[in-house]
Amino acid sequence: MTSTPRPIILTGDRTTGPLHLGHYAGSLRARVALQHEARQFLLLADTQAMTDNVGRHQKVTGNVLEVALDYLAVGIDPALSTIVVQSQVPELAELFQYLLNLVTVARLERNPTIKEEMRLRGFERDIPAGFLTYPVSQAADITAFKATHVPVGDDQLPMIEQTNELVRRFNHTVGQPVLVECEAVLSQVARLPGVDGRAKMSKSLGNAITLGATPDEITRAVNAMYTDPNHLRVNDPGQVEGNVVFAFLDAFEPDTAKVAELKAHYRRGGLGDTALKRMLDERLQALIAPIRERRAEFARDRAEVLGILRRGTMRAREAAAQTLSEVKGALGLRYFEG
């Protein structure tokens, strides 16, 4: 027992595809470290993924196991972290429904993340109700586990704000501090670009390196990486900014002095793309090989992985049921007890 309570982290992923190096750099790596310091819930957010994948539910459900494999492959330890399948925790749906009364439609539409997603998807007024309200569903996930810390990108800050608004509104309504406000934990790591130089690595854009990538796939991806289009001859000075190879070295080469040296060399000329890419290739092969192997190992024992998910989900249900019981108690909804 320590004097300060152990932080509770809620994080997770929509299950729409296997994870890639962008996830590894941006979140997975940190989760592996954090599982020793905090109580960590990792949500396989299939219900949330359904909100904008109507008619593509097989994609969502078929990737639950894939993402779980990615978690286990990178070193998430089910004895330390709780891996939860969202759809299998009915308490989250109940809490969602109660929170839904505490926010107006206008407020949801002002959420910048939703506004941006509406724009990107061309939804306008045809936005599905489940999609408009998914920040409330997220708030239910966060508060059900009484999470104190939620790792997010800065585009997700409005979600945390909305969650804390709901927490305050609920506690004020029932006159008791039942739910707990959370703190956003901003990633310290720059977002990993796609292989093609686009700002975001994404499987659907075809510019990703997945965590199960074969040696060949890695080499091909590295060779295809966008560098400096004006760096035509080895001896020309090259540009480091916007150069995908350096973005990857920044993310995955622990020897920062070496990376600084390489950047200086590249800038002044004399370091060719081929040599540079060979170095990155070696680094990525070394990084991914054990992940790929562990992933394949777990993939061979599907029943064992399902068992891990079942046990994690049961543990999560206990925590969520406790919160829901407090919520329903505060609202006077526990007719059949006492």
Verify binding: residue 55, a second copy, rule CB under 8 A.
Answer: yes
Asked if residue 48 lies in contact with residue 14, where contact means CB atoms within 8 angstroms, the answer is: yes
Q: How far apart are CA 138 and CA 45, in angstroms?
A: 9
Q: How far apart are CA 183 and CA 164, in angstroms?
A: 9
Verify binding: residue 79, a second copy, rule CB under 8 A.
Answer: no
Verify binding: residue 119, a second copy, rule CB under 8 A.
Answer: no
Q: Which is nearer to a second copy, 234 or 314 (CB)?
A: 314
288-305 burial, b for 16+ CB within 10 Å, e for fewer? beebbebbeebeeeeeeb
Verify binding: residue 300, a second copy, rule CB under 8 A.
Answer: no
Q: How far apart are CA 300 and CA 86, in angstroms?
A: 24
Verify binding: residue 174, a second copy, rule CB under 8 A.
Answer: yes
Q: How far apart are CA 88 and CA 146, in angstroms?
A: 18
Note the residue count of the chain: 338
Verify binding: residue 329, a second copy, rule CB under 8 A.
Answer: no
Interface residue with a second copy, options 21, 83, 84, 108 (CB under 8 A): 108
Q: Report, in Å, the least distance between residue 19 CB and a second copy.
A: 18
Verify binding: residue 100, a second copy, rule CB under 8 A.
Answer: yes
Q: Which is nearer to a second copy, 53 or 148 (CB)?
A: 53
Verify binding: residue 338, a second copy, rule CB under 8 A.
Answer: no
Verify binding: residue 61, a second copy, rule CB under 8 A.
Answer: yes
Cβ neighbours of residue 286 closer than 8 Å, sequence gap 6 or more: none
Q: Report, in Å, the least distance between residue 104 CB and a second copy.
A: 5
Verify binding: residue 71, a second copy, rule CB under 8 A.
Answer: no
Verify binding: residue 88, a second copy, rule CB under 8 A.
Answer: yes
Q: How far apart are CA 70 and CA 16, in angstroms?
A: 13
Q: Which is nearer to a second copy, 62 or 237 (CB)?
A: 62
Verify binding: residue 284, a second copy, rule CB under 8 A.
Answer: no
Which helix (H) or strand (E) element contains residue 320?
helix 302-330
Q: Which stretch binds a second copy (CB under 8 A): 32-40, 131-139, 248-256, 290-298?
A: 131-139
Q: How far apart are CA 96 and CA 306, in angstroms?
A: 26
Verify binding: residue 137, a second copy, rule CB under 8 A.
Answer: yes
Q: Which is nearer to a second copy, 125 or 300 (CB)?
A: 125
One-character DSSP codes across 220-271? HHHHT----TT--STTS----TT-HHHHHHHHH-S-HHHHHHHHHHHHHS--
Q: How far apart are CA 94 and CA 317, in angstroms?
A: 12
Verify binding: residue 167, a second copy, rule CB under 8 A.
Answer: no
| Interface contacts to a second copy, rule CB under 8 A | 46-47, 50-52, 54-55, 57-58, 60-62, 64-65, 85, 87-88, 90-91, 93-94, 96-98, 100-106, 108, 125-133, 136-137, 173-174, 306, 309-310, 313, 328, 331-333, 335-336
